[in-house]
A and B are shown apart, each in its own frame.
Chain A
Amino acid sequence: MVSSCRSRAGLKRACGLLLLIATGLGNSHARTLSDEEASWLPLEALVDVEIASADKYIRKLSGAASSAVVVDAEDIRRHGYRNLADLLQTLPGLYVTNDRNYSYLGSRGVGLVGDWNSRILFLVDGHRINENVYDGAYIGHDFIVDLALVDRVEYVAGPAASMFYGNNAFFGVVNVITKTGKQIDGGRVDLSVGSHRAQKQTLSYGKQHENGLDVVISASRLDIRGQDLYIPEFNGVAPRGDYEEADKFFTKVTHGEWSFQFAHGERKKGIPNAPYLQVFFDPRNHSHDAQTFASLQFNRQLESDALFSAKIYQGQYDYSGDYIYADNGQRYINRDVAKGRWQGGEVKYVSATRNGHQWLIGAEYRASPARNQRNFDIDGATILDDKRSDQAWAVYGHDTIKLKQDLTLDLGLRYDRPPYGQGRLNPRFGLIYDWRPETTLKLLYGSAFRSPNVSELHYDINYNFLPNPQLRAETIRSLEAQLEHRPNAASRWLATLFENRINGLVSNVYQGVGDDGARGTADDVYRLENSQQLRSQGLELRYEQQLDGGRFNAAYTLQQSDFSDGSRLENSPRHLAKLNWRQPLLATGIHWALGLQYIGPRQNYANQRVAGAVLGQLAFSGRLTRQIDWSLAIFNLLDRRYNDPAGLANAPVGYVRQDGQTVFFNLGIGF
């Protein structure tokens, strides 16, 4: 490494940095103690031990074989993340693509623009967030919970976690765990301002009362005026076309073993780039999404590490979008509406560890009285009025078997009865070998599926994108080998090799020319079909280091995804690199936090190359008084001009220009 450091000036700088990291950071020796060890500590030692934030339940439920990446409340505050998308794009192997309407999360090389994140399962405190019309989850300012309420975000890659969550946990699971009232402990007002005339106000309160009643309540409001964007494909400006307004409300009441949650989030977004062949530009073009859920959960900790949990929930999703078309020069509004209603319940039981076995069994049921889609012209004809209702259930079992002191076997089986198509049986197999006290080897095989959603099946509006009622479920088989090395308790190396084989990925397939009779124009006709096999292979390296008052981590992912006929997948960068670093700035009480991401070149839907980009964020945060804190975050630090690839719905737009440098300032007042 040292010799290669002499070769080029740019490399030299990078090498210097690496050397510093290697030499300067490696002198911490903290450990995470087992429960047994901790309770035997002498008193002098006990007062020095830090309380670990890891939640036992969640660990237990995601299984021994999966490795979660965790971002905690301190990371969120110090890095000044504005929303979940900001946070997720800093994680290994993940990338976010934005078409200026929604944000799409890509994972391990697959990030289909226009899939509304239906291939990743999003949870809030274990509660499914993906709605039931598009199976979508919304991760920008449209995410249902404000990040200020989040204690931590856990991401498990691969179908490892699908064992417990089924449909949509195709490429991974993102679990957002909210703070308790005890953690918040008091009231708080947050006032933020940012570039493009962004303003946000949040009011939150959390308290654990003496009788054990724990309450969290929060409301927030966001308003971004947005830029007057120039859209090159139309050679025009969309004045005030990029505005965004979002409101959220969240409450959680926990008493003993019972917990009740209610969340509501809604967002209106102006659409500046006229997707779906609209006229450019009309300020009335927008989308509006509203989501609500309520859940009641019961958790009982049984003897030693056994656990029983049960939950009932209800959710709803309403979408409405206004799209502007012209007929003989006369503009009219086409309105697209979706209405989703669902309710369900689930039970889970985790056994105590006996004779080296720990069992987990669970069952879930979900009814969807409405998965409705409607499309009509205002003052005109109804084009689509599709009403669907259905139900789904699943049962699963999982066993963690300690074969030997250093060898653990992880076996799982899940049976799903999805709303469409036949029943699905998916196995999972994991082997964990503690090679040395500081080194673990893991081998993991799992499969998962995704049922086509009602939009893919039935959204037929005589348009040039056709649905397909004959679609089959997508399936994925995934094989993963992982090496984890912990040279000391403050640092961890992870190397992962993975291969995914995806069958029947639902894709747009060219059918013929559109009304203009010419091929290669925006009105070409496409139909959704199950594609041939897609194979992704890759390697991921990650290093994490706890610092005194801070944290450092870096990751690199190399992957390639090809269809069996050799064609490349759209929006599938071969290279992704991430760096996150936060620390106190000397003894000033101010913290700095740096995030860097590199996303390699990728292709858009039309096989045009979208250049790679280096993005940076820098944030500072501190405290003015005991009651008042502040943070200042700069996004796209280097003010790079870069594009995300557009989706097919954006045609003729092929590249979506992203924001240049922006700032976001927050002032928090506690009471």
Chain B
Amino acid sequence: MSFRPLLHLVFSLLGVLNATALADQASENSLKAGFVYNFAKFTDWPADGHHQLIICTLSRNPLDGQLSLLRGRRIGERSLEVRTGISSGAWRDCHLLFVPQEDAERAQPILRSASGHPLLTVGDFADFSQLGGHIELRENERHLQFEINQGAAQRAGLKLSSQLLKLAIKVHP
């Protein structure tokens, strides 16, 4: 007798044949840089005449260098500039502030004083949107997701595109 049909049945039951398409993989930091780039792309700032779109961060080496690699990319008419290691008073030229976990404490004064100004804040730690931040990145089962605090963004005069709102796992009004 042949064992094959039997084995086939057993292994089907065990779920072996369910091997389906798998998720692509990439390093955490490069993925986060990709998210920041997309957040910038899908946000409308009030017109300010700048030919650059400036991403700032307090950290000297954000995302292990991956954030700085966005430098020079174009979004529409504007090119991206990345400023690292800025002092906490120097956020006024910035369009987007990226706050990694290690800057959580230091960034709080900026979040308070920049509230209502068109500075898109992206945080890489839990409860960032509760603190008044605009977009919170979070990790869930080895995937990155994001939450949006739409009320705070609107008060700051920022317009987030519907595509962004659609892909967010949570939108706070």
Chain A residues at the B interface, C-beta cutoff of 8 Å: 12-13, 16-17, 19-20, 24-25, 27-44, 46-54, 56, 208, 210-212, 256, 301, 303-305, 489-490, 545-548, 583-586, 592
Flag if B19 contacts A584 (CB, 8 Å): no
A29 / chain B contacts, CB cutoff of 8 Å: 21-22
Flag if A50 contacts B23 (CB, 8 Å): yes
Flag if B65 contacts A46 (CB, 8 Å): no
- Check if B20 is an interface residue, CB within 8 A of chain A: yes
Candidates A25, A37, A51; contact of B28 at CB < 8 Å: A51
Flag if B3 contacts A548 (CB, 8 Å): no
State in angstroms the CA–CA spacing of A25 and B14 once bound together. Answer: 13
Flag if A46 contacts B24 (CB, 8 Å): no
Flag if A208 contacts B101 (CB, 8 Å): yes
* A24-B11, A43-B163, A210-B101 known; A48 vs B23 contact (CB < 8 Å): yes
State in angstroms the CA–CA spacing of A35 and B67 once bound together. Answer: 11
State in angstroms the CA–CA spacing of A17 and B38 once bound together. Answer: 46
- Check if B18 is an interface residue, CB within 8 A of chain A: yes
Contact with A along B1-19 (1 / 0, CB 8 A): 0111001100101111111
* A35-B26, A40-B34, A547-B16 known; A49 vs B11 contact (CB < 8 Å): no
B101 / chain A contacts, CB cutoff of 8 Å: 208, 210, 212
Flag if A548 contacts B27 (CB, 8 Å): no
B144 / chain A contacts, CB cutoff of 8 Å: 46-47, 49, 51
11 intermolecular pairs with C-beta atoms under 8 Å apart: A20-B7, A35-B33, A38-B31, A38-B34, A39-B33, A43-B167, A51-B31, A211-B102, A305-B65, A490-B19, A548-B20
A39 / chain B contacts, CB cutoff of 8 Å: 30-31, 33-34, 37, 66, 69-70
Min CB–CB distance A556 → chain B (angstroms): 21
B142 / chain A contacts, CB cutoff of 8 Å: 50-51, 53
B2 / chain A contacts, CB cutoff of 8 Å: 12, 16
Flag if B20 contacts A27 (CB, 8 Å): yes
Flag if B27 contacts A212 (CB, 8 Å): no
Flag if A28 contacts B21 (CB, 8 Å): yes
Candidates A49, A303, A586; contact of B25 at CB < 8 Å: A49
State in angstroms the CA–CA spacing of A19 and B11 once bound together. Answer: 12
Using A20-B8, A20-B11, A210-B104 as known contacts, list a sample of 14 further A-B pairs with CB atoms less than 8 Å apart, ordered by residue number in A. Answer: A13-B7, A24-B11, A24-B17, A29-B21, A32-B25, A41-B34, A43-B164, A51-B142, A52-B28, A210-B125, A211-B105, A304-B65, A304-B69, A490-B19
Flag if A33 contacts B25 (CB, 8 Å): yes
Q: Which of B61-93 contact A (CB under 8 A)?
A: 61, 64-66, 69-70
Flag if B38 contacts A303 (CB, 8 Å): no
Q: Which of chain B's residues has its CB closest to A40's CB?
A: B34
* A32-B26, A37-B26, A39-B70 known; A16 vs B20 contact (CB < 8 Å): no
- Scoring B15, B20, B143, B164 by chain A CB atoms within 10 A of each residue's CB, the highest score goes to B15
